[in-house]
Amino acid sequence: MKNFLPKFLACFFALSCASFAKDSAQFPNISGQVLFELKTDRILSTNATGVSPNNAYINIEPDFSLNMDNNWSVKTGWRIYPTNTITTRDPVNSERTRTFLSAERGFSPADTSLIVEELKLQFDNDDMKFFVGKFDPAFGKAYTRSKKIGVFVADVTRDYELREKMGAGIAALLENSKVTFNTFFSDTTGLSGAINGRNTESRNDGLASNTGTLSSYTLTMEGDKFFGTDNWFYNIGYRSLSVKTSLPNRARDTGYVFGTEYLMKFGSNTSVTPFAEITKINNFTGAKGRNATYATFALIGKYSRWTASVSNIFRQISQYQNVDKIHDRQLQLSVGYKFVNNVSLDVSRANIVEGSHSASLFGVMMSYLYTF
């Protein structure tokens, strides 16, 4: 990996330079963006034992688009992650993308993997969009980069994000909204593995949507004029993920999500946005009788290049196999600043309850978004 990562970044730099050299009106051409993140946090206090107080990792997300003409393109999403955040599954809480009070904390730059998260052929025009290949089906908004509510919110809300699926989707682009239907199954091909760190997905892990057939689907709708009101954004979604019924204690994962936010402007450079998203999932991850509810509430203020927010997340999961219920929560205060060169700095303080333990954390995230 020590030799691979510099080569990959060098290739990216070369591709970026080539895209700049081309007139964007000429085809084919390359466009995209790359997100660089350095994230670190420290546990200030906790009643958990055996947990390292410090944690840090680097996250790089290059998204390339090879545009053949005004309608057809090949879109790819690459992710460079620390290996332990994309390979380790909690045997009881398999949905978690991160466990805060884990022994898997620290900073190990060599322990990094490159994965192909998306690779799809896409057609789009003013009225519709169609794509086929490997992609991330939409379900919810609270974990997306556009929200960016402090340092820690996405570490919880990504639990219900759907990632790395094989299939197809179609979206109708209406006047003030978009309706999308996706059908898919979990990627178990060689693309589900990683360079230096992650094995390919097992075809018999029993998780929802891992069936090898197009028997899982999502239906979502989002828009920017809820009940005809300007700047009132919303997203609604339904998911139905099939399971292999031959395995014991498995049932179809079905869930709903509703999110809303209202942008209130005060002058040319000041705004306040209340945000809320509620998610309810039955048979979560395909485990029969395991039901989950996520509720995220936030108030986000912006002044010029400054942001400040307060957020509260509740995670309740009824367990199975005689395991107690989960009643987790996260209360976070954050402040951030975006520099003129597209570099952002966010600082957060959070009090969390995770399982039977509680902790207080301080986190810092430096990010840079490069577009071309």
**Confidence at residue 283, expressed as pLDDT on a 0 to 100 scale:** 94
Work out whether strand 128-135 and strand 112-124 pair parallel, antiparallel, or are unpaired. Answer: antiparallel
pLDDT at 3 over 50: no
- Kindly list the structural domains of the chain, giving each domain's residue range(s) and its CATH number in brackets, ordered by start: 4-371 (2.40.160.10)
pLDDT in tens, 289-317: 899 999 999 999 999 999 999 999 999 99
**Confidence at residue 170, expressed as pLDDT on a 0 to 100 scale:** 97
Three-state DSSP class for residue 16: helix
Amino acid 114 reads L
**Confidence at residue 200, expressed as pLDDT on a 0 to 100 scale:** 77
More confident residue, 24 or 34: 34
pLDDT in tens, 86-102: 444 455 666 677 788 87
pLDDT at 202 over 60: yes
More confident residue, 199 or 325: 325
User: Which alpha helices (DSSP H) does 300-369 contain, by range?
Assistant: none
Please choose, from the candidates 188, 117, 184, 145, the residue with its C-alpha nearest in 3D space to the C-alpha of residue 344.
Answer: 145
Three-state DSSP class for residue 147: coil
d(CA 133, CA 164): 10
> Three-state SS across 46-94?
ECCCCCCCEEEEEEEEEEEEEECCCCEEEEEEEEEEEHHHHHCCCCCCC
Q: Partners of 347 in the beta sheet?
A: 335, 364
The whole-number average pLDDT for the span 324-344 is 93
pLDDT in tens, 343-369: 999 999 999 999 889 999 999 999 999
**Residue 160 contacts residue 317 (beta carbons within 8 Å):** no
pLDDT in tens, 139-176: 999 998 777 899 999 999 999 999 999 999 999 999 89
